[in-house]
């Protein structure tokens, strides 16, 4: 059980301090599974929800597989792997999330879908529970308007892959309470994350810089300026990045890059954000990166979060 304390963000004052005892992750895709790993690894019982039972089970299997592989690679001690795996459950019944102190929304980047989901969460979780939205392309303010308690909605953008990246961008809307922001940062610190506060703007900080840069690297490849290997080597060797752009894109997933880039281009109308044609072709071919075994590189396995 964690010792992070919380107070009510609802109108009407505070409640007695309480521990964060349970986390819910809504959405069993790449990001949802990764965020569930983060919470379970921090010692928190964590339930992965998806409206489709098979997807929920698949997300659970992915999260447990990542933890097991982390143990095999010596990145986590065996006892921590065992306890984290035991912390994870999955469900297709939203009512099972009733006891969550923090509910993390990680569904498809569609405002109508998120509005409907937040309205349903309002009917399930306690008024004191935090609702986090893992978005980087939609407005936190707009998403929060789908809740009857917008003061407890906070944007928490986990950098992908969530279990491997330390940073989480935190964004608030005009109705988000200071208490909800404080409790959010306490929870993320408990989960081992570093937080940066950003304005509620398209792309926040990271993707506002990262997407145009990755697109420029892809366009350099398309133009024949270098190979996948030489561009990655130039970036790591000369710029000091720990990983080249194509290794990173393969871990994130070309489909995710395409979705984020397209959403930001739609909002900003800046051609730097438009996905290059090579990305379109790779997504169409199913060459999405590590999770499909082939992207800019070929892989001998399809470990979702890389290694």
Q: Is 70 in the active site?
A: no
Q: Which residues pair with 19 in a beta bridge?
A: 5
Q: Is 207 in the active site?
A: yes
pLDDT band at 31 (very low <50, low <70, confident <90, very high): very high
Give the Cα separation of 17 and 251 in Å (integer).
Answer: 39
Answer yes or no: are the C-beta atoms of 119 and 154 closer than 8 Å. no
Q: Is 72 in the active site?
A: no
Q: 162: which 2 tokens?
A: 């969530």
Query: Residue 157: CB partners within 8 Å, gap ≥ 6?
Result: 134, 135, 136, 168, 169, 170, 171, 204, 206
3-state secondary structure of 292: helix
- CA distance to 16, 18, 203, per residue, from 8 (Å): 9, 10, 29
- What number is the average pLDDT over the span 130-155? 96
**Confidence (pTM):** 0.87
- CA distance to 6, 142, 256, per residue, from 115 (Å): 25, 9, 21
- In the chain the domains, ranked by start, together with CATH numbers, are 5-198 (3.40.50.720), 206-292 (1.10.1040.10)
3-state secondary structure of 80: helix
Give the Cα separation of 234 and 251 in Å (integer).
Answer: 19
Answer yes or no: are the C-beta atoms of 238 and 253 closer than 8 Å. no
Dihedral (Cα; 35, 52, 66, 250), 10-degree rounding:
-80
| Catalytically annotated residue among 2, 169, 177, 257 | 169
How many Cα neighbours within 13 Å face the side chain of 134?
28
Quick: pLDDT tens for 96-113: 999 999 999 999 999 999
Query: Residue 246: CB partners within 8 Å, gap ≥ 6?
Result: 217, 221, 228, 231, 232, 295, 296, 297
Answer yes or no: are the C-beta atoms of 147 and 118 closer than 8 Å. yes
Q: Which of 3-7, 11-15, 123-127: highest mean pLDDT?
A: 123-127
What is the phi-psi region of residue 13: left when phi exceeds 0, alpha when psi lies from -120 to 50, beta otherwise? Answer: left
Quick: pLDDT tens for 266-290: 999 999 999 999 999 999 999 999 9
Quick: pLDDT tens for 146-183: 999 999 999 999 998 899 999 999 999 999 999 999 99
CA 42, chain centre distance (Å)? 16
| Catalytically annotated residue among 2, 70, 207, 215 | 207
Bond before 251 cis per omega within 30 degrees: no
Dihedral (Cα; 200, 205, 210, 211), 10-degree rounding:
20
Give the Cα separation of 59 and 291 in Å (integer).
Answer: 13
If one counts every other C-beta atom within 10 angstroms of the C-beta of residue 201, the result is 13
pLDDT band at 19 (very low <50, low <70, confident <90, very high): low
| Catalytically annotated residue among 136, 160, 177, 262 | 136
Q: Is 169 in the active site?
A: yes
| Catalytically annotated residue among 105, 134, 149, 157 | 157
Answer yes or no: are the C-beta atoms of 129 and 101 closer than 8 Å. yes
């Amino acid at each position: 059980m964690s010792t992070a304390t919380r107070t009510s963000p609802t109108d009407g004052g505070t409640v007695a301090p309480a521990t964060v005892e349970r986390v819910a992750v809504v959405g069993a895709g790449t990001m949802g599974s990764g965020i569930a790993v983060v919470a379970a690894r921090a010692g928190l019982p964590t339930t992965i929800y998806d409206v489709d039972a098979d997807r929920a089970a698949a997300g659970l299997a992915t999260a447990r597989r990542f933890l097991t592989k982390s143990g095999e690679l010596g990145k986590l001690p065996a006892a921590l792997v065992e306890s984290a795996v035991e912390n994870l459950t999955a469900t297709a019944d939203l009512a099972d999330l009733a006891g969550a102190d923090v509910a993390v929304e990680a569904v498809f980047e569609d405002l109508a879908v998120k509005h409907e989901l937040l309205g349903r969460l309002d009917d399930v979780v306690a008024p004191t529970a935090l609702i986090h939205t893992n978005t980087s392309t939609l407005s936190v303010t707009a998403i929060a308007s789908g809740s009857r308690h917008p003061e407890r909605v906070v944007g928490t953008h986990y950098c992908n892959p969530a279990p491997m990246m330390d940073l989480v961008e935190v964004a608030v809307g005009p109705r988000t309470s200071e208490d909800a922001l404080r409790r959010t940062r306490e929870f993320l610190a408990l989960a081992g994350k570093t937080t940066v506060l950003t304005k509620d703007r398209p792309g926040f900080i990271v993707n506002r810089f990262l997407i145009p840069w990755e697109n420029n690297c892809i366009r350099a490849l398309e133009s024949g300026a270098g190979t996948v290997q030489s561009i990655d080597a130039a970036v790591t060797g000369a710029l000091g990045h720990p990983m080249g752009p194509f290794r990173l894109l393969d871990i994130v997933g070309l489909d995710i890059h395409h979705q984020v880039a397209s959403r930001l281009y739609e909002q900003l109308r800046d051609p730097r954000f438009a996905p290059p044609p090579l990305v379109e072709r790779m997504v169409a071919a199913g060459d999405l990166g590590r999770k499909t075994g082939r992207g800019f590189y070929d892989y001998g396995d399809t470990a979702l979060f890389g290694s």
